[in-house]
């Protein structure tokens, strides 16, 4: 496998200063996902790093220009987000402005906006988002939604190709649970009737950034000092790590000499011959290891010949003296073209122990539950009845970049089943593109122009009611009475909605034995 060379990011070919479109931005802490919808149609989203850095030449780069940097060694990133929430609005504004003008080619002052916000954002964070959108960038309208709301809309409306249609029980009831395993943290959100349940939102303070930092510590302690190489280690994590079915069995495999089949070697970039690291091919590694082995075999044969000549033969004339052998001159070897000596990062049990922290955070000292228990905590709350819980378990939708680890979905579903009553029916599925799921849901929402205008807030309305909106943010109400531009229900109630039918279907999915016990106790 040859070295990967940096390629310029794919950009949508758009004329400059496009206006009268609805821009969709998934404001992630790790990456920005952007797209726009126009006249009922939408574009394919693009993803750019939500950070800035100073390149070797001294120039500051951000967004898509950062993704095109060739030499990533020692690249120190500056991120506007900390622990999932924006803390540097000036940097966030510059990164977003460059992405809107350079990648999408839109004029923000003549466009509308659909943007995401983490659940339970602090009042200062919400005020900063409003000020950036209307006062700094100058959008005409804004609609703020959580990634779970947009991902659920995408799951119900855009992913109907996998057998789900408008008559599906979860689509009619607008219910389910969304597990977002993102960059800064993991959220499990229970949704019923199209509305997020406040007590059904659970957070795990582990995400892709924590896994990268953990891998940095492990390899820095055992091999090279990689504490300043966040970009390199994140790339190694994405290419080498996987989720193990049985951790103890995998650890036994690692006890084999040189790590056995688990061992992988990640070739580090040097900025000259290798611009992006890659996993060395297994056959290529075996050839390198066998070069010295063949030479050692030849020397062993020579030693055996010498031993035969030195054996003592006790006969009539007494012991036979062995002749003194002259050392053989070394054989001339064919000269090979000089190859650069690349540094490699050897990964063995780190490959599966790093993602294992998502299922057992106690491995790194975090006093929190894993992702499977997080889903059950979100659903098993007092605000939901048995029928609503059955609907939530009927549609467990997984998004986020960390869900792309190999074998993540199989392990998640296998560990989730024993935690739930056997009478519940569970359907677990992952988005076709877990990273872009929320952005695609925003594009689908923006196509519904009437629904967007009913829930969005205009710039004039924001400036006229700025004080009341700020009070609503500071009140910390989940659904304030004042219009703040925050989305409540991710979709309209279906026209063909039969509450009695849904209730009857849900009763079939709830645990019958538990219901009989409850009735007997009453």
Residue 59: per-residue pLDDT: 75
* Separation between Cα atoms, residue 12 and residue 46, nearest integer Å: 8
Per-residue pLDDT of the chain (522 residues; tens, 9 = 90+): 444 444 444 444 444 567 789 999 999 999 999 998 876 666 789 999 999 988 766 778 888 888 888 788 778 889 999 888 999 999 999 999 999 998 888 999 999 999 999 999 999 999 999 999 999 999 999 999 999 999 999 998 766 545 555 567 888 888 999 999 999 999 999 999 999 999 999 999 999 999 999 999 999 998 888 888 889 999 999 999 999 999 999 999 998 887 788 999 999 988 778 888 899 887 555 555 555 444 444 444 444 444 444 444 444 455 555 555 666 666 555 544 445 577 899 999 999 999 999 999 999 999 999 999 999 999 999 999 888 899 899 999 999 999 999 999 999 999 999 999 888 889 999 999 999 999 999 999 999 999 999 999 999 999 999 999 999 999 988 888 899 999 999 988 876 667 777 777 777 777 665 555 555 555
> How confident is the model at residue 257, as a pLDDT?
82
What is the residue-averaged pLDDT of the chain? Answer: 83
Q: CA-CA distance, 418 to 420, in Å (whole number)?
A: 6
Q: Is the dihedral of CA 221, 224, 229, 230 positive or negative?
A: negative
SS3 285: helix
User: pLDDT tens, 414-466?
Assistant: 999 999 988 888 999 999 999 999 999 999 999 999 999 999 999 999 999 99
Beta bridge partners of 23: 36, 113
8 Å CB contact between 388 and 194? no
pLDDT in tens, 224-282: 888 888 899 999 999 999 999 999 999 999 988 877 889 999 999 887 788 888 998 87
- What is the rounded CA–CA span in Å between residue 251 and residue 440? 40
Classify residue 134 by its DSSP letter.
I
CATH number for the segment(s) 21-145+448-490: 3.30.420.40
Token couple for 471: 């009070």
What's the chain's Rg over C-alpha atoms? 30
> What's the CA angle centered on 313, arms 308 and 314, to 5 degrees?
160
**The pair of three-digit structure tokens given for residue 231, joined into one six-digit string:** 């970009």
Name the pairing type of β-strands 186-192 and 85-86.
unpaired
CA-nearest of 70, 58, 149 to 444 is 149
Helix/strand/coil percentages in the chain, nearest 5: 45, 20, 40
Q: Which of 434, 358, 423 is nearest to 393 (CA)?
A: 423
Would you state the CATH architecture of domain 160-205+368-435+497-521?
2-Layer Sandwich (3.30)
pLDDT at 289: 53
CA nearest to 46, candidates 9, 77, 16: 9
Q: What is the C-alpha to C-alpha distance for residues 469 and 166, in angstroms, rounded to an integer? A: 36
Distance from C-alpha of 162 to C-alpha of 119, rounded to nearest angstrom: 29
Listed by start position, the domains of the chain span: 21-145+448-490, 160-205+368-435+497-521, 209-280+343-355
Could you please state the CATH topology (level 3) that the domain comprising 209-280+343-355 is classified under: Actin; Chain A, domain 4 (3.90.640)
Examine domains 21-145+448-490 and 160-205+368-435+497-521 and report if their fold is the same.
yes
DSSP bridge partners of 78: 52
> How far is 31 from 25, CA to CA, in rounded Å?
10
Identify the bridge partners of residue 203 per DSSP, sorted by sequence position.
187
Q: Tell me the whole-structure pTM to 2 decimals.
A: 0.83
Angle between helices 499-509 and 386-393 (to 10 degrees): 80
Classify 36 as helix, strand or coil. strand
pLDDT in tens, 380-406: 999 998 888 998 999 999 999 999 999
């Amino acid at each position: 496998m040859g070295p990967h060379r940096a390629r310029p990011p794919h950009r949508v070919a758009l004329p400059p200063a496009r206006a009268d479109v609805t821009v969709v931005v998934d404001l992630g802490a790790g990456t920005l996902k952007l797209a726009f919808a126009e006249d009922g149609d939408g574009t394919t989203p693009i993803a750019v790093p939500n950070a800035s850095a100073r390149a070797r030449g001294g120039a500051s780069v951000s967004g898509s220009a950062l993704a095109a940097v060739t030499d990533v060694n020692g690249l120190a990133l500056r991120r506007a987000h900390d622990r999932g929430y924006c803390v540097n609005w000036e940097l966030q504004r510059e990164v977003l402005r460059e992405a809107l003008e350079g990648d999408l080619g839109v004029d923000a002052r003549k466009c509308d906006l659909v943007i995401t916000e983490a659940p339970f954002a602090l009042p200062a964070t919400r005020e900063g988002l409003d000020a950036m959108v209307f006062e700094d960038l100058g959008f005409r309208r804004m609609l703020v939604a959580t990634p779970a709301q947009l991902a659920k809309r995408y799951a119900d409306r855009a992913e109907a190709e996998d057998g789900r249609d408008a008559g599906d029980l979860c689509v009619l009831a607008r219910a389910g649970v969304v597990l977002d395993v993102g960059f800064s943290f993991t959220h499990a959100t229970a949704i019923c009737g199209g509305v997020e349940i406040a007590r059904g939102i659970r957070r795990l303070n582990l995400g892709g950034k924590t896994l990268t930092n953990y891998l940095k510590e492990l390899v820095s302690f055992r091999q090279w000092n990689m504490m300043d190489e966040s970009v390199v280690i994140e790339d190694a994590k994405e290419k080498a790590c996987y989720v193990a079915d049985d951790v103890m069995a995998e650890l036994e495999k690692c006890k084999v000499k040189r790590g056995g089949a688990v061992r992988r070697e990640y070739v580090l970039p040097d900025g000259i011959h290798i611009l992006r690291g890659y996993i060395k091919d297994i056959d290529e590694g075996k050839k390198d290891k066998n070069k010295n082995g063949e030479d050692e075999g030849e020397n062993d044969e020579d030693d055996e010949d010498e031993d035969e000549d030195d054996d003592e033969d006790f006969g009539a004339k007494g012991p036979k003296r062995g002749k003194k052998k002259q050392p053989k001159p070394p054989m001339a070897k064919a000269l090979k073209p000089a190859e650069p000596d690349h540094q490699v990062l050897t990964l063995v049990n780190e490959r599966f122990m790093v993602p294992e922290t998502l299922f057992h955070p106690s491995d790194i000292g975090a006093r929190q539950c894993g992702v499977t228990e997080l889903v059950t905590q979100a659903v098993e709350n007092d605000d939901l009845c048995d029928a609503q819980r059955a609907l939530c378990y009927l549609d467990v939708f997984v998004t986020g970049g960390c869900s792309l680890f190999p074998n993540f979905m199989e392990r998640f579903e296998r560990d989730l089943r024993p935690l739930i009553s056997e009478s519940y029916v569970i359907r677990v599925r992952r988005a076709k593109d877990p990273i872009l799921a929320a952005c695609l849901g925003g594009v689908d929402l923006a196509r519904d122009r009437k629904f967007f205008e009913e829930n969005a807030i205009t710039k004039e309305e924001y400036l006229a009611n700025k004080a009341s909106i700020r009070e609503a943010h500071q009140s910390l109400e989940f659904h304030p009475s004042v219009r703040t531009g925050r989305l409540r229900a991710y979709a309209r109630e279906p026209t063909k909605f039969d509450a009695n039918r849904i209730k009857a279907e849900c009763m079939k999915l709830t645990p019958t034995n538990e219901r009989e016990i409850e009735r007997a106790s009453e």
